[in-house]
C-alpha cells in the first residue's frame, strides 16, 4: 500500500515548449500527442528524427479465428510510428499531482490516527 502512496497520482499536463525541445531535453518515457485532426495517441519512449516524433506503439491485435472455433485470437504487436511535428496540436507529459496524492494519502492516515487514539476499554474517540 505504501508503494501506491509513493507512486502518487499522475495526470497529463500540457507543455508550452515545442514537442522537439521537450522530447530532446526531458527524454520522457511517454507522451500524449494530440494531432491537428483531433487524434490523440500515447507514445512510448519517443525520440525526434528529422522533423518527426518517432515511437514504437504497442497494441493488442485481436481477430476471430475460424481455426479456434470462432474465438478471439489476440497477438501483442509493435509498430513503429512517426508523426510530423507540424501535425502536433498539443503535447502532454505525465506529472505527479501533489493535491491528488496528498488526498489519497490523507484518508488512510486519518483512519489510522483515529484507531490509534481509540481506547479499547470504551474511552477516547471510539467510545459509544
Q: How confident is the model at residue 122 (pLDDT cuts 50, 70, 90)?
A: low
Q: How confident is the model at residue 66 (pLDDT cuts 50, 70, 90)?
A: low
d(CA 101, CA 21): 29
Most confident of 45-54, 63-72, 103-112: 45-54
Quick: pLDDT tens for 14-23.
Answer: 999 999 999 9
Mean pLDDT value across residues 15-43: 92
Quick: pLDDT tens for 76-97.
Answer: 777 788 999 999 999 999 887 6
Long-range contacts of 24-27 (CB under 8 A, 24+ apart): 24/48, 26/93
Amino acid at each position: 500500500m505504501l508503494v501506491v502512496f509513493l507512486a502518487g497520482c499522475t495526470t497529463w499536463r500540457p507543455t508550452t515548449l515545442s514537442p522537439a525541445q521537450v522530447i530532446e531535453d526531458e527524454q520522457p518515457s511517454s507522451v500524449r500527442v494530440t494531432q491537428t485532426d483531433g487524434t490523440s495517441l500515447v507514445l512510448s519512449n519517443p525520440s525526434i528524427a528529422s522533423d518527426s516524433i518517432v515511437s514504437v506503439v504497442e497494441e493488442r491485435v485481436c481477430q476471430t479465428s475460424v481455426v479456434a472455433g470462432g474465438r478471439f485470437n489476440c497477438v501483442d504487436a509493435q509498430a513503429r510510428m512517426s508523426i510530423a511535428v507540424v501535425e502536433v496540436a498539443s503535447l502532454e507529459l505525465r506529472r505527479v499531482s501533489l493535491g491528488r496524492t496528498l488526498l489519497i494519502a490523507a484518508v488512510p492516515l486519518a483512519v489510522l490516527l483515529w484507531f490509534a487514539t481509540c481506547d479499547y476499554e470504551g474511552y477516547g474517540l471510539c467510545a459509544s
